[in-house]
Structure 1
Amino acid sequence: MSNLPYALMLEGIVSGSPVAFDDGATARFQMVISPTGDEATEMILPCVVTDLAKAALELNDGDFVRISGDLILAETDELWIEVLLLERIQALPQPTATDTAHTACHVLREVEWEAFVHRDVLSGAAPGTACIRLYVSPTADYVDDLMIPCQVTNPDQAALALTELQDRTIVRVCGDVCHSAISGALWLNLQQIEIVGAPALDAVGDGQASLEIRDHMYVVTDLGNSYLSVFTVAGDWVGYASGRDDVNTKIEEYEHKALSDT
């Protein structure tokens, strides 16, 4: 299946500093978008800028921006916005239209993702449904990370979500990426949820941690320390990494030792 381009216009807030690639010819950054003003619909989308890379690299964390471009959903199931127009704005407009029932739903494509649950799972507006947000980390670069709200309408899957999932639970999911023409919201309509593993939260001192899934392992980042703690999905200790680049080294050393022990 080929890449799926889908034209969008979005307004949001730059999260973190843009990163230059290809000697500055391309810029990438994350954008926080809350199309309805409701935290449950808030998302983080990765953005890729080529023609306007210089302007994008001048953006700062917290800047308000308006972008137009194509939503790209690749064969690898990676998702990003290919930015064609970029404009700084003074403030975000108040949401003027909501579509909580998703009556204007456009189903874009089915995806399969390994991700972790972001914060609490909530009951949906209709009985037997649930709402969750998933954090997807498809590559080693944080600017490619995606957070997307999800609707669970299958009663059995919703019951599983409400009773078994918690903040930072690692899951493998299958569902349809959807878009509302009214609110501009993007979400994942989940059909299947499989629990892969739960993070070793005891390793995080103050509980203020972020997770990044890497090669079926996960990285627990204690924001109070300068290192990354690497575990397997099963909770086995891999080691401390001095930074993101060192994570792959720790994983390779762990796998080499595991092979040597067999």
Structure 2
Amino acid sequence: MNPTHLAVDGYVEAIPTPGTDQGTATFELILFPSNADDMAPDAPDTVFACSTADPAITDMLLTEVQPGDLVRVCGTVDQPEASDAPARLTVCTLEVLPAPPVPVLHDMVLDRYGKYVVVFNADTDTDIDIGADAVPVFTATGEWVGHAASPDAIEVLIDIHERVHGSGS
């Protein structure tokens, strides 16, 4: 099979190790999918067995790169004879990337009202008719307070909770 030139982003699986020859290093790279939102949660990871003979990349791998780092690598990939073995990627360039931002879950926003936490635009149980504008309210320690009928009613719900349970809860 002919080698294919490839540029991919991925996470370093484990601590890179020195290769068998002087000035070389090996590591495993888990592909960072560009379409992660469209993938099934149980989809298998794509893993590349990477190696390099570039002294600068070897030095970076063995002294700076840590497991879990997001990197962009360019090089040539060869598929091994054994179908269950990972593809071999010979790396000619390596760049450590900043960590990707943490995704926001369904536009959910948490806000604090003193010792209370409210959840805006949260997914709510559709079996209960609480209204489209209802806002779940909790104490900062996680105790359930209730649903405020709307954002305007949050302070009323908190006031009622403090009168019933005391201001110390």
Aligned to 2:70: 170
1:189 equivalent to 2:90? Answer yes
Aligned to 1:134: 29
Unaligned runs of 5+ in 1: 1-105, 199-216, 218-231, 233-237, 254-262
The whole-number CA distance in structure 2 between the counterparts of 1:107 and 1:119 is 28
The whole-number CA distance in structure 1 between the counterparts of 2:52 and 2:45 is 22
Which residue of 88, 100, 112 corresponds with 2:7?
112
Which residue of 151, 155, 172 corresponds with 2:51?
151
Q: Secondary structure, in 3 states, of the residue corresponding to 2:75?
A: strand
* 1:204-240 residue CA offsets vs partner (Å, 9 max, x unmatched): xxxxxxxxxxxxx2xxxxxxxxxxxxxx2xxxxx56x
Aligned to 1:7: none
Alignment of 1:2-151 (within 5 A): 106-138=1-33, 139-140=35-36, 141=39, 142=41, 143=43, 145-151=45-51
The whole-number CA distance in structure 2 between the counterparts of 1:164 and 1:107 is 32
* 1:124-157 residue CA offsets vs partner (Å, 9 max, x unmatched): 0101000011111312224163111101111111
Q: Secondary structure, in 3 states, of the residue corresponding to 1:166?
A: coil
Instruction: Choose between structure 1 and 2: higher strand proportion.
Output: 1
Q: TM-score, normalised by structure 2?
A: 0.52
Q: Is the 8 A contact 1:112 1:172 kept in 2?
A: yes
The whole-number CA distance in structure 1 between the counterparts of 2:55 and 2:70 is 21
C-alpha RMSD over aligned residues: 2.5
Aligned to 2:161: none
Q: Is the 8 A contact 1:150 1:188 kept in 2?
A: yes
Q: Secondary structure, in 3 states, of the residue corresponding to 1:188?
A: strand
Offset, 1:179: 2.6
Change (3 A) 1:197 1:107: farther
Bigger shift: 139-148 or 120-129?
Answer: 139-148
User: Which segments of structure 1 move beyond 2 Å, counting only runs of 4 or more?
Assistant: 183-186
The whole-number CA distance in structure 1 between the counterparts of 2:44 and 2:80 is 23
Q: Secondary structure, in 3 states, of the residue corresponding to 1:197?
A: coil
The whole-number CA distance in structure 1 between the counterparts of 2:20 and 2:75 is 19
Q: TM-score, normalised by structure 1?
A: 0.35
Unaligned runs of 5+ in 2: 110-169
Q: RCO greater where, 1 or 2, for CA within 8 Å and sep 6 or more? A: 2
The whole-number CA distance in structure 2 between the counterparts of 1:173 and 1:158 is 13
Report % sequence identity: 25
* 1:144-176 residue CA offsets vs partner (Å, 9 max, x unmatched): 631111011111111111111111011111111
